[in-house]
Amino acid sequence: MLFDYFKNIEFGQPYFFVLFAILPFLIYGHFRYFNSSAASIRVSSTAAPGLKTWKSAAKHLPFIFRVFALSAIIFTLAKPQTRNVEQRTEGEGIEVVLCIDVSGSMTAQDLTPNRLEAAKSVAIDFVNRRPTDRIGIVIFAGESFTQCPLTTDHNVVIAAIKNIRNGLLVDGTAIGSGLSTSVDRIRNSKSKSKVIILLTDGENNGGLIDPQTAKEIAKAFAIKVYTIGVGTIGEAPMPYRNPDGSISTRMQKVAIDEPLMQQIATETGGRYFRATDNNSLAEIYTSIDKLEKTKVEVIKNVHFKNKFLPFVAAAIFFLMLEIVFRYLLLRKFP
């Protein structure tokens, strides 16, 4: 308990420790006085010889108590205290909507274990790197759906990403619908920076909104769109179910509308990326993370707590001991 009380003590006025330099002179003067033949006034005593011997042996105790008291006073003057640092992080995050293609072609196995699972994995890593951002999730296939509205509760966002799977929506690739739904989720935001990351592996072939129209809406609301085309070059293994229920794969041509993806990104102030494997997909999200910086400020508040009371108590205690020994037990007067 006592050790914990004095743990991490520091001194606000350490220059008072120079007063310790006086103590050696006081000690020297004291012993010189007792060794000299200077006269001293003593009160006569009829105490027994044994008591006188004890008093003779204890004659230095009052002075020792005074030294202890002076030491405690010096420590008190040095202002003992502990430092308590409160630290908090304040950040001005951006708002991000992850717009993810969940069409049947996203089960292609040119990424491990497939495109959709690889996209989910890197999306979770991205969310974990953006602690101050509000993030939402939109999925699309033949239609679009808000999987998670914008929120700073990243546990909710990550849970929503983990729950994404193929077959949740009518099949197809409605890029325009996915982009427009994402714009609708973020368009009224007061954030200075609004970003959509659109990931797809195909060409627009469904939905009620043309991708060009969705792009113009994004531009009108000053929303930056990063686009990612995911899939290897050439053909990719696509799983399918046999009549007997077993799963086989067949090669399917990879068709990504890269000119459209590049146009959407360029005209909205974003960039287009092509992910042909897991590593390149992870690197793309890392690049976007670096491009879209958030303002993070670490604020420290330092509070000091005084710890001088034990030293004051010690000084009073030793002064009282000196008085008791000098004037009562030893009956000695200066």
pLDDT confidence band for 135 (50 / 70 / 90): very high
pLDDT at 38: 44
295-306 and 80-92 beta bridge pairing: antiparallel
Q: pLDDT (tens digit, 9 = 90+) per residue, 244-273?
A: 888 888 998 888 999 999 999 999 999 999
Ordered structural domains, the chain, with CATH: 2-85+303-329 (no CATH), 94-293 (3.40.50.410)
pLDDT confidence band for 93 (50 / 70 / 90): confident
In sequence order, what are the residues at sequence separation of 6 or more whose Cβ sits closer than 8 angstroms to the Cβ of residue 266? 272
Nearest to 133 by CA among 94, 161, 99: 94
The pTM of the full predicted model, rounded to 2 decimals, is 0.64
CA 260 to chain centroid, in Å, comes to: 39
Q: pLDDT (tens digit, 9 = 90+) per residue, 37-70?
A: 444 445 455 555 544 566 666 777 888 888 899 9
Mean local confidence (pLDDT), 94-113 = 94
What average pLDDT does the chain have?
A: 86
* Half-sphere CA count of 27, side-chain side, radius 13 A: 12
